[in-house]
Amino acid sequence: MIKKLALINDLCSVGRCSLSIQIPVVTALQLSACPIPTAVLSNHTAFPHVSSTGLGAVMEERLETLSENDIHFDGILIGYLGDCTDLRALDAYLEAEKLRNPALRIFLDPAMADHGRLYRGMTEEHIEAMRALCRKADLICPNLTEAAFLADFDYAGLKETLDRCTSAATRGMVMHALLSELHHLTEGQIVVTGVEAYPETAEDRATTPEALINVVSEADGDLRFVEHARSGDARPGTGDLFSAIVASLCLRGEELENATRRAADFVALCIRHSEEEKVPIVYGVQFEDVLGAL
């Protein structure tokens, strides 16, 4: 029997992100994708106008019904919370499921911010809710902005310091300080995604970074860089795509570093393909016709 991965995230009618991108990817990786929507949106929040219905009020009922039907999962991937900032029901559910099955893997993509600011509709309550979930997660996958919010770091100062780093050693020192704070929130593994890296030679440094780095940190603090060439402009939904691949591969038994590399390679492929197909950035990555590459 194939393993079941619950996907706690929002559902957008338009804009490839969240459940609309995670369900097909998880399925392509031969797991059973089990969506638990936190909100239903007309489109994601990068569009000028959004119609959104939060489902936090019915979260407890849905989780209770799953338990009553003796439905359980091998992994749970948590993303965008919508209005689900009251975590009592989710906390109780996660604790009960972990007690029932200690091998249950809980993955957290704290989808709430990027480029130094919170997403539209996100508040301090969401940051606190994500910090609380970090304490229950076996793996968290924040981008650099989300990592800064979680660790209570000044994002602008952190980003400026990283941009000035001209070697892996200096970059590692900065990331070690950030990850040390994050490890106070979680006993699990961490991947900080999309850290920009500039050329080492000062005269070659330009306004556009030459590479992106995913920083992998094990529970014991061991830190590794998974680097790949920048493939194009940032697009909505790539974090959801990345976390779905990493969670699926880890649930299938792959090592985190290899899962991270495979996820980063596929995201880069999707970005290149989307640019070739002239897909507007706001519509995310055109991944459907390259799923076979997974």
pLDDT at 209 over 90: no
Q: What is the pLDDT of residues 15-65, one digit of tens each?
A: 999 999 999 999 999 999 999 999 999 999 989 999 999 999 999 999 999
Structure tokens at 4: 């079941």
Number of H-type helices and E-type strands within the chain: 9, 11
pLDDT for the residue numbered 220: 82
CA distance 90 to 56: 10
Give the mean model confidence (pLDDT) for residues 190-195: 95
pLDDT for the residue numbered 204: 52
pLDDT for the residue numbered 200: 63
pLDDT at 151 over 90: yes
Average model confidence (pLDDT) for the chain?
93
Give the mean model confidence (pLDDT) for residues 73-100: 95
Give the mean model confidence (pLDDT) for residues 225-253: 93
Q: What is the pLDDT of residues 166-178, one digit of tens each?
A: 888 899 999 999 9
Q: What is the pLDDT of residues 109-149, one digit of tens each?
A: 999 999 999 998 899 999 999 999 999 999 999 999 999 99
pLDDT for the residue numbered 88: 93
Kind of pairing between the strands at 113-114 and 117-118:
antiparallel
Please give the sequence-ordered ranges of beta strands (E in DSSP) within 135-294, or none if there are none: 139-140, 189-197, 211-217, 223-229
pLDDT at 203 over 60: no
Task: Look at residues 24, 25, 32 and name the one whose alpha carbon lies nearest to residue 73.
Answer: 32
Is residue 274 within a helix (H) or strand (E), and if so which, with residue range?
Answer: helix 256-276
pLDDT for the residue numbered 120: 87
pLDDT at 97 over 60: yes
Residues β-bridged to residue 140: 108, 190
Least-confidence region, from 113-117, 182-186, 204-208, 221-225? 204-208
Burial class (CB in 10 A: 0-12, 13-18, 19+), 232: middle
pLDDT for the residue numbered 288: 96
pLDDT tier for residue 222 given thresholds of 50, 70 and 90 = confident
Residues β-bridged to residue 102: none
Kind of pairing between the strands at 75-78 and 105-108:
parallel
The domain defined by 4-293 folds into: UDP-N-acetylmuramoyl-L-alanine:D-glutamate ligase (3.40.1190)
pLDDT for the residue numbered 61: 96
- Higher-pLDDT residue of 197, 123: 123
The pTM score is 0.94
CA distance 280 to 232: 12
